[in-house]
Amino acid sequence: MDIRISGLAVLVMALALGACQSSVQTSSGADYLARYDGSYEVAAGACGSDTDAEVRRIAAIEPDLRFPAKIGVARIGPYGDLVAVPANELEIWGELAEGIGPETGAFVPVSPMIAAMVSDSEPGAGSQARTIDHIRKGAARQHIDYVLVYETATKGKDRSNELWLADLTVLGLFVLPTRNVEVEATASGLLIDVRNGYPYATMTSFAEKKGLSRAIATWSKRQDLSATAEEKAVLELADDVRDALSQLKDAALDPPAEG
């Protein structure tokens, strides 16, 4: 019996083997702090340090999920600065916006020029906190609700090991791959609340060296050409963003019971 597999079927199976990791958070800061008991109080007293009070302040943050939302897209460049989203990646985010529908919201690129207008310092490599602050300020001026901050890294031809995976200048890898893959590029994303900095989702996607001529996402109605591993990694990341937004929408419709 002659069994033939179409090119599209091979493509779908190849993508099913792709590596991607994501984590969604909607927990309450008040609930987290309510679990403090006497042992924490002792640490926060005379024998404690300023870190204890700082931890409480940092933890005291609440999710504020409301849809439809205005979702910003902020692209971090190779030097750790906010850059314009490339045209090929704009197309990916545009397709994602069509796929999730107006009930979820609209995607808007965060403008580096607007961010520069309202931020007092230009971020760069080695200043992760300032980079995120810079992006939040620009997004606030554009009245964006949540912002997806993302960056990519590609494997250099002169690298003899996989330490390049840690070369992302701002976000870094959130989850290391659980299996050995021939990775050519990686993309990491962080979805945060512009107004209070709440981290709703972290994502890391990997693109293998094989099969870069064509890639397809489950939310797309058509096939997308992917000329580079970096572009494919962003495409995989967009699929993770779609799943994260779906989970966050469910959480917004079904908030935890008080009491």
**Cα separation, 233 vs 206, whole angstroms:** 5
**pLDDT for residue 159:** 39
What is the model's pLDDT at position 101? 92
User: Coil, strand or helix: which one is 43?
Assistant: helix
- pLDDT for the residue 120: 79
**What CATH number belongs to 7-26+63-253?**
3.30.160
Residue 126: the pLDDT is 52
Cis ω before 86 (30° cut-off from 0) = no
- The predicted structure's pLDDT at residue 162: 47
- All structural domains of the chain with their residue ranges: 7-26+63-253, 27-62
pLDDT, averaged per 10 consecutive residues of the chain (259 residues), comes to 31 40 90 75 58 88 96 93 94 92 95 92 66 95 98 61 52 51 77 97 80 39 53 90 95 70
Torsion sign, CA atoms 218, 224, 227, 230? negative
- Determine contact, residues 240/57, Cβ cutoff 8 Å: no
Question: Which class for 90: exposed (0-12), middle (13-18), buried (19 or more C-beta within 10 A)?
Answer: middle
Closest CA to 239 of 66, 89, 71, 93: 93
Q: Check if the beta carbon of residue 222 is closer than 8 Å to that of residue 92.
A: no
Cα(183)–Cα(208) distance, integer angstroms: 4
Indicate the pairing of strand 105-109 with strand 20-24. Answer: unpaired
Report yes or no: 137 and 197 within 8 Å, Cβ to Cβ. no
Residue found under tokens 């870094």:
172
Structure tokens at 199: 């981290």
Q: What is the pTM of this model?
A: 0.78
> Pick from 216, 204, 180, 225: which is nearest to 15 by CA?
216
**Nearest-angstrom CA–CA distance, 107 and 90:** 10
The residues near 257 (Cβ < 8 Å, ≥ 6 apart) are none
